[in-house]
């Protein structure tokens, strides 16, 4: 069962690190030079990057899931 | 906007007791009546993991929603906060969505789509802020993206809680634990009135657990599980603790994640062909050794050795306590800045 607890701690760490990236790197980004479109373009850009981050998060978790849990089944 | 007296700790304490008692008493008494009513009218379903053929009353959603609405209405009478109306509205819509599915099982996309519709109630009532708070790092303002986060929160919490409702006492027991963790987190971040609004979730879950625990006398059904899950998600949004709520719900999220990454489509569990677990001759739950069918938390828990239903349920509840502790640690970290 320790594998399951380890997986939970890993997910927890990934949530905190992902949040840190969102706040520190993504948060301050602002697109300028397009007049009234600036806020919309900024939101779309941030949204796009956030979606990519979530996809990457799921991909990493899937790989780790395979490594951790398949080991249990092969024991 | 809450009245000024709502910030008085003694006043909030008295309301907290009143609201908790209303939630517990309403659900406890109504569940007892509901079991008799459902059995009398033949509204029962088989309990899969029992030696003898056992029929269990279903669904318990009406007793759960009655407890939620009665206690939140009492709270609204004192605090008059839009956030409480949002909790009541989303919970009630989730109950109706679940009741339809209880009466006539719908397709895999039914619940995600309709629950997304339920989330609109929060937007219409304006009971949210567009900031997302991350522990140690602070807030990020995401006005447009937050609408997506809000809708996803309701869809995910509703469905994940529904997905762990597979064993006696798990959904109600788990929500009592997750609700307690969430209430503690809300107190830590200083959101006291929403912490009180979380008490109905805890006490309704506890009252229902009394009848739902092993051996179950009633199952919550989709109408009950969706109410508990969506109420939890709504509290997370109106309380501004979305990240902490997600952490407290990690075991249920892992269960949904394993299912979706295993079957690679949105489909009802009953429709999948390769079942992740089997029942042994001595009525223990045993994981199948098919690695392609790695689709549930239950399968991982029983991978090393077959376990009784009671043992598996206890393990899931212990995982809930562990994730709740992680959420509380994270809430304390919210006061730390890097």
Is 60 exceeded by the pLDDT of residue B1?
Answer: no
Is 90 exceeded by the pLDDT of residue B203?
Answer: yes
Q: Which residues contact B235 (CB under 8 A, 6 or more apart)?
A: B87, B182, B186, B194, B197, B198, B201, B245
Which percentage of chain B shows pLDDT scores above 90? 67
User: Which one of A11, A24, A72 has the shortest CB-CB distance to B303?
Assistant: A72
Residue of B139, B143, B144 to mutate when probing chain A, most A C-beta within 10 A = B144
User: What torsion do the CA atoms of B301, B303, B309, B312 make, to the nearest 10 degrees?
Assistant: -20
Which helix (H) or strand (E) is B302 found in, with range?
A: none
- Output the six-digit token pair for B326: 């992680």
Q: Mean pLDDT across the stretch B37-48?
A: 93
Contact A22 B304 (CB under 8 A): no
Q: Mean pLDDT across the stretch B49-78?
A: 94
* Burial class of B41 by CB neighbour count within 10 A (0 to 12, 13 to 18, 19+): exposed
How far is Cα A46 from Cα A53, in angstroms, rounded to an integer?
10
User: Which one of B250, B297, B303 has the shortest CB-CB distance to A12?
Assistant: B250
Buried/exposed code over B267-285 (b: 16+ C-beta within 10 A; e: otherwise): eeeeebeeebbebeeeebb
What's residue B263's pLDDT? 65
What's residue B293's pLDDT? 64
Is 60 exceeded by the pLDDT of residue B136?
Answer: yes
What is residue B132's three-state secondary structure?
strand
Low-confidence spans in chain A with pLDDT less than 70: 73-75
How far is Cα B228 from Cα B217, in angstroms, rounded to an integer?
19
On chain B, the residues whose CB falls within 8 A of the CB of A70 are 291, 294
Confidence of residue B276 (pLDDT cuts 50, 70, 90): confident
Reference B266, options B163, B121, B172; nearest CA is B163
What's residue B87's pLDDT? 98
Confidence of residue B73 (pLDDT cuts 50, 70, 90): very high
User: Which one of A12, A23, A24 has the shortest CB-CB distance to B247?
Assistant: A12
Q: Mean pLDDT across the stretch B151-177?
A: 94
Is 90 exceeded by the pLDDT of residue B39?
Answer: yes
Confidence of residue B108 (pLDDT cuts 50, 70, 90): confident
Confidence of residue B273 (pLDDT cuts 50, 70, 90): low
Contact A19 B250 (CB under 8 A): no
- Output the six-digit token pair for A55: 């996809």
Confidence of residue B166 (pLDDT cuts 50, 70, 90): confident
Is 70 exceeded by the pLDDT of residue B244?
Answer: yes
Confidence of residue B319 (pLDDT cuts 50, 70, 90): very high
On chain B, the residues whose CB falls within 8 A of the CB of A73 are 287, 289, 291, 294, 303
Reference B206, options B15, B21, B59; nearest CA is B21
Task: Please tell me the pTM assigned to this model.
Answer: 0.92
Is 80 exceeded by the pLDDT of residue B156?
Answer: yes
User: Please, how many CA atoms are within 13 Å of residue B183, restricted to the half-sphere of its CB?
Assistant: 19
Reference B335, options B134, B196, B87; nearest CA is B134
How far is Cα A5 from Cα A3, in angstroms, rounded to an integer?
5
How far is Cα B233 from Cα B235, in angstroms, rounded to an integer?
5
Largest Cα–Cα distance of chain A, in whole Å? 61
Find out whether B162 and B252 touch, Cβ atoms under 8 Å.
no
Q: Mean pLDDT across the stretch B266-272?
A: 60
Task: Kindly list the domain boundaries of chain A, sorted by start residue.
Answer: 41-75
Beta partners for B131?
B141
Q: Which residues contact A63 (CB under 8 A, 6 or more apart)?
A: none
To the nearest whole Å, the CA of B252 is away from the closest chain A CA by: 11
Is 70 exceeded by the pLDDT of residue B119?
Answer: yes
How far is Cα B83 from Cα B254, in angstroms, rounded to an integer?
29
What's residue B170's pLDDT? 96
The β-bridge relationship of strands B138-141 and B277-279 is unpaired
Helix and strand counts by DSSP (H, E) for chain A: 2, 0
Is 90 exceeded by the pLDDT of residue B179?
Answer: yes
* Burial class of B191 by CB neighbour count within 10 A (0 to 12, 13 to 18, 19+): buried
On chain A, the residues whose CB falls within 8 A of the CB of B291 are 70, 73
What's residue B122's pLDDT? 96
Largest Cα–Cα distance of chain B, in whole Å? 63
Which percentage of chain B shows pLDDT scores above 70? 91
Find out whether B127 and B153 touch, Cβ atoms under 8 Å.
no
Is 80 exceeded by the pLDDT of residue B268?
Answer: no
What's residue B285's pLDDT? 87
DSSP 8-state code for residue B218: B
Q: Mean pLDDT across the stretch B105-129?
A: 90
Find out whether B310 and B80 touch, Cβ atoms under 8 Å.
no
Q: Mean pLDDT across the stretch B163-192?
A: 95
What's residue A21's pLDDT? 87
Is 60 exceeded by the pLDDT of residue B325?
Answer: yes
Interface of A with B (CB under 8 A): 1, 3-5, 7-9, 11-12, 15-16, 19-20, 22-24, 26-27, 40, 43-44, 46-47, 50, 58, 61-62, 65, 69-70, 72-73, 75
How far is Cα B243 from Cα A74, in angstroms, rounded to an integer?
34
What's residue A26's pLDDT? 83
Low-confidence winner among B52-56, B154-158, B318-322 (lowest mean pLDDT): B52-56
How far is Cα B7 from Cα A68, in angstroms, rounded to an integer?
48
């Amino acid at each position: 069962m320790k594998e399951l607890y380890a997986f939970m701690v890993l997910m927890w760490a990934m949530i905190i690190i992902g949040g840190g990236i969102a706040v520190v790197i993504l948060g301050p980004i602002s697109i300028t030079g397009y007049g009234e479109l600036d806020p919309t373009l900024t939101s779309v850009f941030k949204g796009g990057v956030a979606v990519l981050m979530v996809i990457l998060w799921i991909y990493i978790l899937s790989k780790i899931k395979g490594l951790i849990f398949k080991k249990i089944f092969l024991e | 906007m809450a009245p000024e007296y709502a910030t008085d700790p003694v006043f909030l304490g008295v309301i907290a007791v009143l609201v908790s008692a209303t939630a517990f008493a309403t659900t406890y008494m109504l569940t007892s009546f509901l079991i008799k009513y459902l059995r009398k009218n033949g509204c029962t379903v088989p309990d899969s993991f029992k030696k003898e053929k056992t029929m269990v009353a279903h669904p318990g959603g009406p007793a759960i929603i009655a407890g939620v609405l009665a206690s939140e209405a009492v709270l609204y009478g004192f605090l008059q906060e839009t956030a409480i109306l949002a909790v009541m509205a989303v919970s009630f819509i989730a109950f109706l969505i679940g009741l339809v599915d209880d009466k006539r099982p719908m397709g895999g996309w039914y619940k995600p789509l309709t629950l997304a519709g339920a989330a609109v109630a929060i937007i219409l009532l304006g009971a949210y802020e567009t900031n997302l708070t991350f522990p140690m790092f602070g807030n990020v303002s995401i006005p447009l993206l937050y609408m997506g986060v809000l809708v996803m929160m309701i869809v995910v919490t509703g469905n994940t809680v529904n997905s762990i409702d597979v064993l006696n006492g798990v959904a109600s027991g788990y929500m009592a634990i997750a609700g307690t963790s969430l209430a503690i987190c809300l107190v830590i971040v200083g959101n006291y009135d929403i912490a009180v609004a979380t008490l109905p979730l805890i006490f309704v879950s506890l009252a229902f657990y009394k009848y739902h625990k092993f051996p179950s006398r009633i199952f919550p059904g989709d109408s009950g599980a969706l109410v508990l899950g969506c109420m939890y998600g709504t509290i997370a949004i109106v309380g501004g603790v979305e990240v902490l709520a997600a952490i407290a719900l990690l075991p249920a999220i892992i269960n949904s994640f394993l299912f979706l990454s295993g079957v690679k489509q949105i489909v009802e569990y009953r429709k999948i062909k390769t079942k992740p677990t089997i029942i042994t001759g001595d009525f223990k739950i045993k994981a199948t050794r098919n690695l392609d069918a790695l689709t549930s938390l239950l399968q991982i828990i029983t991978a090393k050795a077959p376990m009784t239903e009671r043992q598996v349920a206890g393990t899931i509840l212990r995982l809930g306590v562990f994730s709740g502790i992680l959420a509380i640690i994270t809430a304390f970290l919210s006061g730390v800045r890097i």
